Amino acid sequence: MRILVVDDDESLRGILAMVLGDDGHLVTTAESGEEALELYLADPFPLVITDIRMGGMSGIELLQRLKETNPETEVIVITSYASVDTAVTALRLGAYDYLVKPFEELEFISNVVARAVEKIRLVHDNRRMLDNLVRNRSELEQMNRTLQDLAVRDGLTGLYNRRYFRETIAMEVNRCRRHKGSFSLAFLDVDHFKIFNDSQGHPEGDMVLKTLAELLTERLRKTDVIARYGGEEFVFLLPETHKANGVYCAETVCRLIAGHDFTGTNGQSLGQVTVSIGVAAYPDDGADAEDIVRRADEALYAAKTGGRNRVSAAPDGGA
């Protein structure tokens, strides 16, 4: 371990450097508190051994400066028999331990330093374990978020799935009841999709569904909830949107899709794709989620039987 030894007595610095070097430590020496602080600030040492009484900056002052810079730096102070009280003061200021000079047994130096080194390593290991726990927890939370997202997403389009839509519309109805709000719901179905799949193949059909999902995501607001309801059927819920605005939005979507150049897996043109859309609204067309879904589905059926590639709104007064 890197250790900084600070003492204005050259012979004492030499003894400490020799003992600690023999113990396998990398020792740097300084003959004053000022020099030691300069060395420390340039490249901090995990362990500093300093005499208390030195000309200029004292060991107590150096201890305080080191602890202000990094409270985790361990400091061992050196004192004489006549100034043990000062060593106690150093301990209260955060010193790890103290050595009394003259040294009666050099082994005692090694023992005190070994305990300090063990503490430093223990703190380091504990921090590393804590960092690992935090990182693992963060990774676990990310995995949980990913799993939760997968549970509510459609695998093909990346849109929300039917389960998520059902939960969301129930919450939206409750929110609107409390705050006297409104929302519109649109059911969208791809016209003649079975015929398209039979003639073009399922991979091209999947491309159409994915492109539709992209068009809906680009056209609608971030606050709107878009889901794949099943097969070639999509839904989008428009919060704080009255029926008239919901119908207008659905009509822009219908025109956008009809005018889009759909391409296949190899970039080839797939021709025109059209959709039929049914729109219902809360509270105009029902008092709960089931009512609104039923009315939007009925409106979709009306759009399809009425010629397709069009929008149909649930008739007023039919709730």
Residue 48 has pLDDT above 80, yes or no: yes
Q: Give the C-alpha separation, 301 to 78, whole Å.
A: 92
**pLDDT averaged over the chain?**
91
Q: For the chain, report the end-to-end CA distance as a whole number of angstroms.
A: 80
Q: Is the pLDDT of residue 318 over 60?
A: no
- What's the DSSP call for residue 262? -
pLDDT tier, 268 (very low <50, low <70, confident <90, very high otherwise): confident
Weakest mean pLDDT among 104-108, 156-160, 166-170: 104-108
pLDDT band at 82 (very low <50, low <70, confident <90, very high): low
Cβ 5 vs Cβ 30: under 8 Å: yes
Compute how many other C-beta atoms are within 10 angstroms of the C-beta atom of residue 24: 8
List, for residues 190-226, the tens digit of each pLDDT value: 999 999 988 888 999 999 999 999 999 999 999 999 9
Domains of the chain and any CATH numbers? 2-126 (3.40.50.2300), 162-313 (3.30.70.270)
Selected residue with higher pLDDT from 82 and 7: 7
The pLDDT of residue 240 is 95
**Tell me, what's the pLDDT at 130?**
85
Task: Check the CA dihedral 8-12-14-18 and report its sign.
Answer: negative
Residue 123 has pLDDT above 90, yes or no: no
Which pLDDT does position 81 carry in this prediction? 61
Strand order across the 275-282 sheet = 225-230, 233-239, 183-190, 275-282, 311-313
- Cα dihedral value 32, 37, 42, 43, nearest 10: 90
Active site members = 232
**CA pair distance 98, 87, nearest whole angstrom:** 6
Contacts (Cβ under 8 Å, ≥6 apart) of 6: 29, 30, 31, 32, 33, 35, 36, 48, 49, 50, 51, 54, 59, 62
Close Cβ partners of 135 (under 8 Å, ≥ 6 residues apart): none
Other beta carbons within 10 angstroms of residue 157's beta carbon come to 21
Using alpha carbons, list the distances in angstroms from residue 203 to 50, 83, 266, 267.
Answer: 76, 88, 11, 13
Are the beta carbons of 95 and 77 closer than 8 angstroms? Answer: yes
pLDDT at 317: 61
How much is the pLDDT for 79? 85
**Higher per-residue confidence, 305 vs 88:** 305
